[in-house]
Chain A
Amino acid sequence: MNPLSVVARTVCNLFAWFLAVFGIYVIVHGHLTPGGGFQGGAVVATFMAFLLVAHGGRKMQSWVRKELFTLMECVGLTIFISAGLLGMSNTFFFNFLAKAGGLFGSTVPLGPNPGALNTSGTIALMNLSVGLEVVGGLSMILLYMFSGVHPEEPFGREETGHDR
């Protein structure tokens, strides 16, 4: 695919970062606010979609490495399964970190409360790992699909007709 015009590229360069920050917020606050790993990961993956559409597949293929996203997906899934298996002394997916002190181990007061980040045990950890997995997976899908697009006839260097 060919890159879009310079206006579209500038706007996408700016707003892709806002999307990434919002998606990371949704992932990190998954145990406090609506959303979680899957939803926030999908939002972060739109970062890659924006840049791919704006700059074209060929340029992005040279900017990013698919191995990085493969690594993100594998590490996320491995942390998720390990967190499930580590509670195996009780049950599969037992929340062994909750209320234990240490990482994500604080207790929450019962009833309505503003919420603290360092709570909820493996739930927060699994949110982070699933977010990592979804970001890697969806970005890989986008990159692979863009590398599979072969336009029949070559166009100009940029898309023409939007702003000129």
Chain B
Amino acid sequence: MKARILFLVSILVVGGLLWSGLQAVHPFGEPNSAPMDEYFIANAQSEAAANNVVTSIVFDYRGFDTLGEGAVLFTAVISVAALFRKRGQH
């Protein structure tokens, strides 16, 4: 019973915070203008010579992030290879 009351109170608290946060969200389909977005859209073609602005961000402006993704994939492959290695090989 005590656990159930605690559960209900925590749901009310989290739901209330979420609801009060949702009141401040801008309407759907009308994002707030950010200087970063404007910069990427205005300069991706002239600076990176790329039609695809998303790719120019992923591989040029934030290439370091993609390097991390590649490292994550490499680590995953290494760990799978270590997990499924043949028996008897140490």
Contact surface of A with B, Cβ cutoff 8 Å? 30-34, 36, 38, 73, 77, 80-81, 84, 92-93, 95, 98-99, 105-108, 110-111, 113, 115, 119-123, 126-127, 130, 133-134, 137, 140-141, 144-145, 147-148
Contact = CB atoms under 8 A, between A and B. Distances in A.
14 contacts: A32-B51, A33-B52, A36-B58, A77-B70, A80-B67, A92-B64, A93-B64, A98-B49, A108-B51, A111-B45, A122-B59, A127-B55, A137-B74, A147-B84
Contacts of B20: none
B84 A127 contact: no
A95 B58 contact: no
Nearest to A98: B49
Contacts, number: 109
Interface stretch (B1-9, B10-18, B25-33, B75-83): B75-83
Contacts of B50: 31, 98, 108, 119-121, 123
Contact of B51 (A84, A119, A144): A119
Contact of A95 (B48, B66, B69, B70): B48
